[in-house]
Structure 1
Amino acid sequence: MKFLRKSLAIFLLLTMVFTIAACSSDEETKTETTTKTEDTKKEETKKEEPADDEIVIGLSLPTQQEERWVRDKEKMEAAAEEAGVKLLVQVANNDVAQQDAQAKNLIAQGIDVLILAPQDAAAAASIVEAASEEGIPVISYDRLITNTDKLDYYLSFDNVRVGELQGAYITDLVSEGNYIIMSGAPTDNNAKLFKEGAMTYLQPLIDEGKVNVIVDQPVDDWKPENALKIIENALTKANNDVQAILAPNDGTAGGAIQALAAQGLDGQVPITGQDAELAAAQRIVEGTQSMTIFKDTRMLGAEAINIAIALANGEEVKTNGAVSNNSVDVPSVLLTPYVVDKDNIDELLIESGYLKKEDVYK
């Protein structure tokens, strides 16, 4: 009997030991599993977060309706990809309010640098101010943003020089007679600079009475259809007696040539242009447009990304000028523009790879 009681006691004792051991093992397994799960979640969360050192550049463009702005966008996207930085792009479709909202949304996303080509030079000042409050530097791209002392850099071509090249070319061809003068959009500070440069050649001839200006008018939003209407009205006013047309860019030149063609005057009236668009190159070959200004946007777009990366890294930006925006002299990087006409179109536009010969000589 004693033997049975003793055996039972040993059995119960062993059962308790194994039970405690099992419970301890379960708890350790549960704790280990929970710890692994938490570690996994932390690792997954860590993977989803963007790299702290990734450079994010915001780009706000006014339009994609003109070939040159399409080229700018494509070049900057390619340059950003090659440099391994993130580029967030917004296009305002020639809408001032839309650009304001889009650019401020980019700022809210925590971009490192903003590249801004303004639809309205003065209105864009509020975007620059908003970026400055967040410590985000702004590059005014191609078009100068005015009326703010917070603008960091201006990147463009020498736009007064662009106008000088147009003015010198057209007055060399036609030093007397009736002129139609068009300037760019009133909201674009570049339009002011182009005209300023051109008038250094035209104004003396006007003052001497050699050149008679039939119409002197800006082209709203740079739209070809607006240029078309201006030229139609001017031709009617002058009874088609027109010897030269100063057009600020290729788009407005195209609209003007359409109006001239309707009167059988295309190819008979010298006309300027700018941007070296394919359609303009074709018209130069055909003889309906006299010249264009080549501003290599491949260089401009690549330089914009280079400057943005330097600013994001806190590095110094080398400039070669300063341009007043009515508030301050903005540190500027200004590239060189070139005249293109039938004599050098192959050299400048085709041999450089900017345009294809089979497209130009269609």
Structure 2
Amino acid sequence: MKPTFMKVHLLLFMFVFILVVTACQQNKSRVDHQDMHEDSFLNKASSPSDREPDDKIVIGFSMDTLAEERWLRDRELFKEAVEALGAEVKIFASKGDDALQILHAENLINEGIDILVIVPHNAESTAMIVKKAHAAGIKVLSYDRLVRNSETDLYVSYDNEMVGELQAKAITKLVPKGKYVYIGGPETDYNAHLLKKGVFNILQPLIDKGDITVVYDQWTKEWYPENAYTNMKEALKVNHNEVDAVISANDATAGKVIQALAEQGLAGKIPVVGQDADLAATQRIVEGLQTMTVYKPLKALADQAAELAVKLAKGEEIEVERIVNNGKLEVPAILLSPIAVDQNNIDETIIADGFHSREEVYKNKEK
């Protein structure tokens, strides 16, 4: 091979080599830049302190159900409160379906929400949702119902143990001695356990004295009123209608308890208590069919939860005076105080607050 040809061949080889190296370096630079961009995005999503001041906070609200009157109110009041704070809320209701609630929560997390607010259907199974949210750098606020055995960041509710105590105090004043029936909520809802605990805080000393006997005590699966109706019919049957008082976990179940009593000619003769201040319950109270309810001003709850959710999303510190053990850890909690309502104070509480109008409440009584 001639020297001149060898020189030309060598120069061509060196030129191609330089082009390949340069292209690789440019491609590596593009890849590094893309990786840096993705890392930056992920860090921003998981760190509230990196948020831009003008970024609109997006809250995911995962609800158990909208089948009951009170949850329809919660949805609208929470939405109003969030939007008044300049934030946005995406709402899903799972119709009492655990798997659907988990799927909804996953969708919200994947959409890049800043915080998840959850009303759990099943207090235990929704712990998975908390875990998934935290893995994505998203904090979780339990609304009204506590998620069990999880690292929930904050719990905002009314004091459900106090609700049960108010129910029991009201009914034991009327019936200090006798046979009691307890119609609870679902065993899967931790609130139902708190309510029952509050009730028996008051009843147990009277049980120990022999003044009160609980002749029937049953959970109401899924909070379904029809299940409460079945339970109450059974309670009356096994006790030959010899029942002196009924404590029902909420107003919807109380309504069916009263229906079962009415079929035996006992409606209005046996005191029945509930909670939630549903419209139908307030109507029954003024008619003398239901003894009392427990009023939990939902606007106060929704406003408080919305404000705290926004603060959590921003990474701001929240001071609390209460903690609640959820089976895994002590969860910081904000617990509002409920109000016992009967015929004597229904006008200055529920009606005065505009929760229900006087026309609605007294509709049946004034016919």
Q: Shorter chain as normaliser: what TM range?
A: 0.7 to 0.9
Which string of whole-angstrom CA distances, capped at 9 and with x for unpartnered residues, describes residues 155-202 of structure 1?
A: 001111111111111111111111111111111101111110110111
The question of 1:319 aligning with 2:320 is answered yes
Aligned to 2:71: 69
Contact 1:267–1:287, Cα closer than 8 Å, also in 2: yes
The question of 1:103 aligning with 2:105 is answered yes
Which string of whole-angstrom CA distances, capped at 9 and with x for unpartnered residues, describes residues 9-58 of structure 1?
A: xxxxxxxxxxxxxxxxxxxxxxxxxxxxxxxxxxxxxxxxxx97121100
Q: CA deviation at 1:83?
A: 2.0
Contact 1:320–1:334, Cα closer than 8 Å, also in 2: no
Aligned to 2:41: none
In the alignment, the residues of structure 1 paired with residue 197 and residue 81 of structure 2 have an alpha-carbon distance, to the nearest angstrom, of: 33
Aligned to 1:19: none
The question of 1:297 aligning with 2:298 is answered yes
In the alignment, the residues of structure 2 paired with residue 168 and residue 245 of structure 1 have an alpha-carbon distance, to the nearest angstrom, of: 13
Amino acid corresponding to residue 306 of structure 1 in structure 2: E
Q: 1:317 is paired with a residue of what secondary structure?
A: coil
Aligned to 1:90: 92
The question of 1:251 aligning with 2:257 is answered no
In the alignment, the residues of structure 1 paired with residue 295 and residue 319 of structure 2 have an alpha-carbon distance, to the nearest angstrom, of: 23
Q: CA deviation at 1:304?
A: 1.2
In the alignment, the residues of structure 1 paired with residue 104 and residue 238 of structure 2 have an alpha-carbon distance, to the nearest angstrom, of: 43
The structure 2 residue matched to 1:125, chosen from 127, 130, 153, is 127
Aligned to 1:336: 337
In the alignment, the residues of structure 2 paired with residue 266 and residue 168 of structure 1 have an alpha-carbon distance, to the nearest angstrom, of: 21
In the alignment, the residues of structure 1 paired with residue 162 and residue 110 of structure 2 have an alpha-carbon distance, to the nearest angstrom, of: 37
Q: TM-score, normalised by structure 1?
A: 0.84
Amino acid corresponding to residue 72 of structure 1 in structure 2: D
Q: CA deviation at 1:206?
A: 1.8
Contact 1:128–1:151, Cα closer than 8 Å, also in 2: yes
- RMSD of the TM alignment (CA)? 1.1
Task: Work out the number of aligned pairs and report it.
Answer: 311
Q: CA deviation at 1:218?
A: 0.5
Q: 1:322 is paired with a residue of what secondary structure?
A: strand
Aligned to 1:347: 348
In the alignment, the residues of structure 2 paired with residue 318 and residue 299 of structure 1 have an alpha-carbon distance, to the nearest angstrom, of: 18
Aligned to 1:58: 60
In the alignment, the residues of structure 2 paired with residue 128 and residue 96 of structure 1 have an alpha-carbon distance, to the nearest angstrom, of: 14
The question of 1:186 aligning with 2:187 is answered yes
In the alignment, the residues of structure 1 paired with residue 142 and residue 187 of structure 2 have an alpha-carbon distance, to the nearest angstrom, of: 18
Amino acid corresponding to residue 62 of structure 1 in structure 2: D
Gaps of 5+ in 1: 1-50
Identity across the alignment (%): 47
Contact 1:250–1:280, Cα closer than 8 Å, also in 2: yes
In the alignment, the residues of structure 1 paired with residue 321 and residue 294 of structure 2 have an alpha-carbon distance, to the nearest angstrom, of: 21
Show the 5 A alignment for 1:1-362: 53-148=55-150, 150-362=151-363
In the alignment, the residues of structure 2 paired with residue 233 and residue 327 of structure 1 have an alpha-carbon distance, to the nearest angstrom, of: 37
In the alignment, the residues of structure 1 paired with residue 362 and residue 263 of structure 2 have an alpha-carbon distance, to the nearest angstrom, of: 24
Q: CA deviation at 1:209?
A: 2.1
Q: Which has the larger radius of gyration?
A: 1
